[in-house]
Amino acid sequence: MTIKYKKPELLAPAGSLEKLKIAFQYGADAVYFGGKDFSLRAAAQNFSYEEMKEGAEFAHSLGKKLYCTINVMPKNEDLEQMPKFLKQLEEVGIDAVLVSDLGVLGMVKKHTNLAIHVSTQANTINYEACNVWESLGAERVVLARECSLEDIKTMREHINPELELEAFVHGSMCISYSGRCLLSSFMAGRDSNMGACTQSCRWKYSLVEEKRPNEYFPIEEDSHGTYIMNSKDLAMIEHLPELLNAGISSLKIEGRNKSEYYVAVIVNAYRQAIDLYYKDPENYKLPEALKEELYKVNHRKYHTGFFFKEPKEEGIIYDTNFHIRDYDMTAIVLDYDKETGMALCRQRNKFVKGDVIEVLSPGKFDQSFVAEEIYNEDGEKIDECQHPNMIFKIKTPFELEKNSFFRCKVKKK
């Protein structure tokens, strides 16, 4: 198979400074984040000025990039503070900003020299829109999730080769068009277009007949009920050759509200899969172990979104709105002593002596050991770690990197 396009960027979410550092450690080429204002993920921790500065310095020390999302749909009163915020982004050295509103794009150009990426919230689904965005100063367009691979190929053929295209390849999907939804505002008074979505689409609903108020009739797929707007998660790791030959410049992972562990697992899997493909595209085959990694985080059932065809009922999960959880992330490694073979860790979920612990490290996911020697902070032997954030030491048969993760299979009750 001939490689038509250069190796794309792997772009990871960073809901906090710690997640940013872990994303880079596990193989991301760039991360995107939100500041305290003007971001569409109000539930994320988001970055202060000092954190943005530290994040930019950290990224650039590795030769990597950092993008800030300013993709809200601002009202008049929201614009007053924006010039100051934009200048702060320029001061700290952000590599690009993501915008979806024409007014915000104009303000970025007026007040800064920041590179501009057009957010998926702008709903770009055709090449003429791409060309207009470029004429207005955009260097990259993040495509709407509703685009198919054929759509993307056609766009690539009708736009400037220098204009970059970015596409989501993994993570949560939205029932509404490119995430532009009023359901949360209507039902909970929280505006999804200002970053405060309550995910009302994933709630359980009942039917009410107008002449019988307060009588609720269940809408049932089975005994658990039904969730008529609950989209499956996107996962395209099995289709990397198709993605990489469509002319996509940046492969984007969704999840600024997800955990550090989630970021590490998903970035690690896609990093290795992409590198394997470019190492030998003629003989590339996705290792089954990499595919299985995607099932070791909390997830919904997976689907390929709009890439191959418009999803109908097969793109919705009707029987539950809970995530699938087959593994618990039990601890993160803070330090490792080579002389003693002891890892200093912070506990996240309970595990006990005798449990089989899998280890995820940058570029590795196939190591495991049995927990035998566990010590508390006072050096006392213990049989279990019960308390979240408890600091402990554990003997391991191999050396570990800082920010390696321990995980255990969920014990079936």
For residue 317, pLDDT over 90 is answered with no
Is the distance from CB of 388 to CB of 349 less than 8 angstroms?
yes
For residue 199, pLDDT over 60 is answered with yes
Using CB atoms within 10 A of its CB, is residue 412 exposed (0-12), middle (13-18) or buried (19+)?
A: exposed
| pLDDT tier for residue 71 given thresholds of 50, 70 and 90 | confident
- Segment 14-42, tens digit of pLDDT: 999 999 999 999 999 999 999 877 755 55
Higher pLDDT, 128 or 255: 128
For residue 229, pLDDT over 90 is answered with no
The C-alpha atoms of residue 100 and residue 120 are separated, in whole angstroms, by 7
The pLDDT value recorded for residue 163 is 98
Q: What are the sequence ranges of the domains in the chain?
A: 9-176+231-315, 327-409
- Segment 118-153, tens digit of pLDDT: 999 899 999 999 999 999 999 999 999 999 999 999
Classify domain 327-409 at the CATH topology level.
Elongation Factor Tu (Ef-tu); domain 3 (2.40.30)
Average the pLDDT over 161-167 and give the result: 97
- Segment 336-372, tens digit of pLDDT: 999 999 999 999 999 999 999 999 999 988 899 999 9
Is the distance from CB of 272 to CB of 294 less than 8 angstroms?
no
Q: Which CATH class is domain 9-176+231-315?
A: alpha beta
The pLDDT value recorded for residue 39 is 59
Average pLDDT, rounded, for the chain:
89
Is the distance from CB of 325 to CB of 410 less than 8 angstroms?
yes
Average the pLDDT over 304-312 and give the result: 88
The C-alpha atoms of residue 263 and residue 255 are separated, in whole angstroms, by 8
The pLDDT value recorded for residue 215 is 77
Determine the residue type at 313. Answer: E
For residue 200, pLDDT over 90 is answered with no
